[in-house]
Amino acid sequence: MQSRYFTLNDHPKGMPTAELFTLEQSELPELQDGEVRIRNTWLSVDPYMRGRMDGVTTYIEPFQLGKPLDGAAVGEVIESRDSRFKAGDKVRHMGGWRDIAQLPAEQIEALPTFDVPVQAYLGVLGMPGTTAWVGLNIIAQIQDGDNVLVSAASGAVGSLAVQLAKAKGGTVVGIAGDQKKLDWLESIGVKAVSYKDKDAKQLSEDLKQACPDGFDVYYENVGGDCLEAALNNLRVGARIAVCGMISRYNDEGLSAGPGNLAMLLVRRARMEGFIVFEHWQHHNDFMSEFGPKVAAGEIDYQETVAEGLEQTPDAFLKLFTGGNHGKMLVKL
């Protein structure tokens, strides 16, 4: 059986382009004992993949040039030589960026059985949802009544973070990039602020207007001007959960940090980065709390779907231009 998969030709300099990716095809080796063959139905593209393209080990191994890329995917087992899986089983695994995956059974998990579309396990009930939950509950230690600011607030992580924060009863403000996203945030009771065509000073003033009392929690997805503006609007004792800094991922060389880091001191605030996989022991808590809510339609989760394996690089690139609302997915 043949598998089609993407490889990376070179390490991107700055913003990657579609030409850096090649769609290749090869015959899969014979299925061995303990292995499972899966037809992927949905692929996830995620901002962290950009860091893996630089050829440098960070908290995760880099992608190898010329080798199949990987990432989260869900699919259906088509052949199994492991007693834990059988043909037809719906599974999640890391053999993405391809149509057919062949993996050891230990690297595959059966999908939970909530009444949700399977692709939800790549987004709202997958890694992004868990990240929102961990960032707010474990890192920021959100309390009832906290005022919360979220950047990239209509994305996969941010859109759930704002809804988790709303449930705590304080004012929630979301930063996003276009009118459709701002309207969606307002429709779920989140005060929406655009960051487009503004410097940090203007954004800072707009945040102050949206939440004059300041923020107890900043859920950081973007960095740059968003961080600087957020620092100017912290309350005493604020917590910043540093989930990501997507505005910096395509920078060449080091970029200047915010000039107002001293606000951490002035407001006696704490800023802490985290990687969700180091907190995966909370995934079950998250699933027990949110699986039923998502299945009951109580969480408004959005998806942007690209159709066809060939679209995977474009779908990935859209993450850096705001071309997605909610979870960016590729449907095969």
Ligand X SMILES: NC(=O)c1ccc[n+]([C@@H]2O[C@H](COP(=O)([O-])OP(=O)(O)OC[C@H]3O[C@@H](n4cnc5c(N)ncnc54)[C@H](OP(=O)(O)O)[C@@H]3O)[C@@H](O)[C@H]2O)c1
Query: Residues in the site for ligand X, rule: CB under 6 A?
Result: 46-48, 128, 131, 152, 154-158, 176-178, 181, 195, 221-222, 243-244, 246-247, 274-276, 319-320, 322, 324, 328
Q: Which residues, listed in sequence order, are joined to residue 150 by a DSSP beta bridge?
A: 174, 219
Q: Which is nearer to ligand X, 170 or 326 (CB)?
A: 326
Contact 142, 275 (CB under 8 A): no
Contact 96, 75 (CB under 8 A): no
Q: Which is nearer to ligand X, 8 or 328 (CB)?
A: 328
* Residue entry with tokens 């998990």: 109
The tokens for 190 are: 């989140």
In 74-100, which positions are buried (b, 16+ CB within 10 angstroms) versus exposed (e)? bbebbbbebeebeeebbbbbebbbbbb
Q: How far is CA 189 from the centre of its chain?
A: 22
Rounded to 5, what percent of the chain is helix, strand, coil? Answer: 30, 25, 40
Least Å distance, CB 315 to ligand X, is: 11
**CA 128 to CA 124: how far, in whole Å?**
6
Q: Which is nearer to ligand X, 85 or 249 (CB)?
A: 249
What 3-state DSSP class applies to 160? helix
* Residue entry with tokens 């396990």: 121
The tokens for 108 are: 């595959």
Q: Which is nearer to ligand X, 83 or 281 (CB)?
A: 281
Rounded (10°) angle between helices 283-295 and 127-134:
110
Q: Which residues, listed in sequence order, are joined to residue 102 by a DSSP beta bridge?
A: 37
Least Å distance, CB 193 to ligand X, is: 10
The tokens for 254 are: 């080091």
Q: Which is nearer to ligand X, 120 or 319 (CB)?
A: 319
Least Å distance, CB 26 to ligand X, is: 30
Least Å distance, CB 61 to ligand X, is: 15
Residue number, nearest CB to ligand X? 155
Nearest to 326 by CA among 140, 174, 215, 199: 174
Least Å distance, CB 16 to ligand X, is: 13
Q: Which is nearer to ligand X, 51 or 112 (CB)?
A: 51
Least Å distance, CB 312 to ligand X, is: 15
Q: Which is nearer to ligand X, 78 or 141 (CB)?
A: 141
Least Å distance, CB 19 to ligand X, is: 21
Least Å distance, CB 14 to ligand X, is: 12
Angle at 136 between CA 130 and CA 141, to 5 degrees: 130
Q: Which is nearer to ligand X, 86 or 201 (CB)?
A: 201
Contact 91, 44 (CB under 8 A): no
**CA 329 to CA 268: how far, in whole Å?**
40
